[in-house]
Structure 1
Amino acid sequence: MRARLGSFAFAIGVVIAAALAAFLSTRYAFRVDVSAAQRASLAPQSRDLLHALTGPVDVVSYASRSGNLREVIANFVARYRAEKPDIALRFVDPEADPAAMRERGVRVDGELEISYGGRSERLKFLSEREFSNALLRLSRGRTHVVAFLAGAGERKPDGDANADVGQFGKLLAEQGVRAVPLVLGTGAAVPDNTDLVVIANPRVALDAGVVAALVDWIDGGGALLWLTEPGENAGLEALANVLSVRALPGTVVDGAGAAIGIGDPSFVAMSTYPPHAITRGFQLTTLLPQAAALAQLGAARWDVKPILRSGAQSWSESGAIPKSGEPTTIRYDENTDELRGPLDLGFALSRLSPRPDRREQRAAVIGDGDFLSNSFLGNGGNREFGQRLFNWLLADDALIEVPDRGAPDREIALSQGALGAIGLGFLVGLPALLVGLGGTIWWIRRRR
């Protein structure tokens, strides 16, 4: 009886201890990362950023209920919540109201919207580097002023027409960037509080005074984004000489577009990019409708780097281009001034600023403005590429470099002989070993 009572008391004690341990585990957490290179934890740079944030962070994930995408996102955000508990995560099912999702520009299952300090930013793919850098940009409280040149039929930053960039202007506003129209008259100058001037495809030639004001802005160390189009005649030859960049004649067409379902040959899709701070780690496809190729002038006064480049099957077409759905009859003619690809469609320019602060002066020239328009902003990675472009031009690109902490032993390289030996061992050796062990046990038991 004493032995039974002792065993019963011991069992009750074990159950009570387990219950207490379970209760304490809900109040206190202990986490140990034993993975190679600590890849299951945040990098020290991300942890330092989270500790510097003073307010709450809201994360909305537009992930469907099917599959395990929500679980993956929740586990990812949990790493950040372990360092900063006031990060709130909320899921919205995009399939519940597809029209509302399209209106908000949500086109990727699992897309994230991060909000902090009254500003927000979107992410289309999940990684620690992208998530931490989005938080870093949102934590910078200064409001940038971007002046869009107006008065000559340019794209409006607040317009709703298909050719305008109103949707991108809203994205800039969410990130703390104020887009304002800029009308330059005779003798006028760009205001001193302007951080960036954007020339978005003027429809008529600009007055000489306006061009002179733009050249003065560049010579004074200002930042500039010039969006041009094939055959555009905006009277900006003087500006092109200052930037050491010019647009080539013709419209770039790409024969590789048909392989990915693009019916219009004048739509150039790019998924690989020349190395630059703007394109580092960028994996989305950028779509440029009817772009002009660019060339660098001989006597360059800038450090000119390409950031957009067409493929080997592209060329600059000087003739008429059939519309989408029409039979494609164009072909490269080497007897004309047409140039075979790869062709540069975007340049990033930098040099030492002439201003007293001696900072880096930045400018960019893109051979297309449609990729930021309301009609094409949602295609591929156009929105994200435009966001990267503006961040760089506004010198808002001091990003967190998360080191590669992949496991060093994720792959095993075996020769054909080693693979054959392993296969022979599993198919012949292991069954023979089991048969031999069984026979040995049978023989020993029979002799007893």
Structure 2
Amino acid sequence: MNRHVLHRLNGWVFALLVLLGAAAIGFLTARHDHIVDWTYNSRVSMSPETRAVLAKFDGPVDIVSYASPQGDLRQTIATALLRYQKAKPDLHLSFVDPQQDPAAMRNLGITVDGELILHYRDRQQRLDTLTERSMTDALERLVRGNDRIVAFVTGHGERRADGVANADLGTFASQLEQSGMRAVPLNFSQVTSVPGQTDLVVLAGPQTPLTPGATKALTDYLANGGNLLWLVDPGNLDASLQPIADTLGIRVLPGELIDGSSSAVGLKDPRTIVLGDYLPSMITRGFTLTTLFPEVAPLAETRQSDWKIEPFLRSSPQATTQSLDGNAAAQLKGPLDFGFAFSRLSPSPAKSEQRVVVIGNGDFLSNSYLGNGGNRALGERVFNWLLGDDQLISMPPRGAPDRVLNVSQGELSALTIGFMLVMPIALLVIGGWIAWRRRRA
């Protein structure tokens, strides 16, 4: 075989091998994918907490999107849900054109183009904004079934769950309802005990003494295995609340916390306690957001009990206490605790564990302070832990710190001069120098 024929044969064999290699690569990539997310906090990937929620389903989930076929909305929805379908293959997505049957859409209450209805067994949830957080909340409500009943004690000047005043909890309570929790009032002038279907009772800083009937109802509720969130304001622990404190084995220390180091973050009031580091606990595991607590009541354990007690909010060593009238004569030195998580085997056979949280502050969840730092996220963690939704406790809001560029006026002027003057002149000089060199060559 002459050299020319051999050379041509080698060329054809090489081309064939290249084609076979490309076909093999295409075959493998069609059946196996590997995705690497290099974005900050892996914000375009599904979080482990979302995967944990999907793992709770033991059957198919059907999602119907009422999206118009015009435009790219259907493709956007399908792309957003593809990650969920990869994690849960029996999650099915279908589309319905809302313009085909407007009467049916009105009966279904469809008002937003692209609105989703999630179906699981005989339950359904609606979703009109598609983000990972909103989708995961909807899936959590779907797998929960009935809404969790969160009863807010009223009638003694407590912070209202439906209130709009600065000190009320209306904004936070409305967010709870989006996560499958239903906030209801609990007035002991109308009932003599906590209703049996209640999942959690919230006692948010009563300003007047509880009636004997209310005190007995709450202590009986604790004795029977009920979960409780108690928000304590400085100086409001009267005799009517003492039986609850005795049941838990804690006491409210006199005065309120002050910490002059809060001025380092721009706060002028030393009564606002700023936390960025937290004691290890189920509630604060992996939590790194900064939280603000104005006017904090310090707490302490008084005795050993059958409760497992974990402090999870503690002031800095620089903190001290002062009396409510501003007198610092009877100071207690920091670090001082102001948040405790209690757990024990439940006396009720209906559930395995009973949980209680006591925090020496109610303002951090109020309408005025909820948007500060990580206050909202910490409140969600507290409620999720109290309701036994441990997988959702560490689900962070996965934002990105690199979406906004903050520059001073001087830096902005320097950037403007650099891009509009220095760079064009530099390019002209470099171009002229290159042209001069070529002419001389």
TM tier, smaller: 0.5 to 0.7
- Does the alignment pair 1:365 with 2:370? no
Please, which of 170, 176, 193 is the counterpart of residue 172 of structure 1? 176
**Matched residue SS, 2:358:** strand
CA distance in structure 2 between the partners assigned to 1:57 and 1:239 by the alignment: 48
Please, which of 347, 372, 380 is the counterpart of residue 379 of structure 1? 372
Cα distance per residue 1:163-216 (max 9 Å; x no partner): 111111111110110000011127711111111111111121111111111111
Cα distance per residue 1:7-58 (max 9 Å; x no partner): 9x969x78x959x9599689935325899xxx99998994973985624599
Determine if contact 1:169/1:179 at 8 Å carries over to the other structure. yes
Q: Residues 168, 208 of structure 1: CA spacing in aligned structure 2 closer, same or farther, 3 A cutoff?
A: same
CA distance in structure 2 between the partners assigned to 1:372 and 1:263 by the alignment: 20
CA distance in structure 1 between the partners assigned to 2:12 and 2:258 by the alignment: 81
State the one-letter code of the partner of 1:167: T
Q: How do 1:143-292 and structure 2 match up within 5 A?
A: 143-185=147-189, 188-234=192-238, 235-292=240-297
Determine if contact 1:173/1:179 at 8 Å carries over to the other structure. yes
Q: Residues 289, 320 of structure 1: CA spacing in aligned structure 2 closer, same or farther, 3 A cutoff?
A: same
TM-score normalised by structure 1 residue count: 0.63
Return the offset for 1:115.
10
- Report the equivalent of 1:395: 388
TM-score normalised by structure 2 residue count: 0.64
Q: Residues 45, 181 of structure 1: CA spacing in aligned structure 2 closer, same or farther, 3 A cutoff?
A: closer
Cα distance per residue 1:326-378 (max 9 Å; x no partner): xxxx8xx5xx4321111111111111221134621111111000111111111
Return the offset for 1:137.
3.9
Q: How do 1:64-79 and structure 2 match up within 5 A?
A: none
CA distance in structure 1 between the partners assigned to 2:308 and 2:194 by the alignment: 24
Determine if contact 1:230/1:367 at 8 Å carries over to the other structure. yes
- Report the equivalent of 2:55: 49
CA distance in structure 1 between the partners assigned to 2:285 and 2:134 by the alignment: 15
CA distance in structure 2 between the partners assigned to 1:161 and 1:176 by the alignment: 24
- Report the equivalent of 1:118: 125
**Matched residue SS, 1:269:** strand
Unmatched runs of 5 consecutive residues or more in structure 2: 66-78, 94-115, 119-123, 396-441
Determine if contact 2:225/2:347 at 8 Å carries over to the other structure. yes
Return the offset for 1:158.
1.5
Return the offset for 1:143.
1.4
CA distance in structure 2 between the partners assigned to 1:339 and 1:115 by the alignment: 55
Determine if contact 1:156/1:164 at 8 Å carries over to the other structure. yes
Determine if contact 2:258/2:321 at 8 Å carries over to the other structure. yes
Determine if contact 1:146/1:197 at 8 Å carries over to the other structure. yes
Determine if contact 1:119/1:174 at 8 Å carries over to the other structure. no
**Matched residue SS, 1:28:** helix
- Report the equivalent of 1:410: none
Determine if contact 2:156/2:208 at 8 Å carries over to the other structure. yes
Q: How do 1:281-430 and structure 2 match up within 5 A?
A: 281-318=286-323, 320-321=325-326, 336-357=329-350, 359-398=352-391
Determine if contact 1:273/1:307 at 8 Å carries over to the other structure. yes
State the one-letter code of the partner of 2:380: Q
Q: Residues 262, 241 of structure 1: CA spacing in aligned structure 2 closer, same or farther, 3 A cutoff?
A: same
State the one-letter code of the partner of 1:347: F
CA distance in structure 2 between the partners assigned to 1:290 and 1:115 by the alignment: 44
CA distance in structure 2 between the partners assigned to 1:342 and 1:400 by the alignment: 26
Which deviates more from structure 2 when the two are superposed, residues 248-257 or residues 391-400? 391-400
Determine if contact 2:199/2:387 at 8 Å carries over to the other structure. yes
CA distance in structure 1 between the partners assigned to 2:384 and 2:346 by the alignment: 18
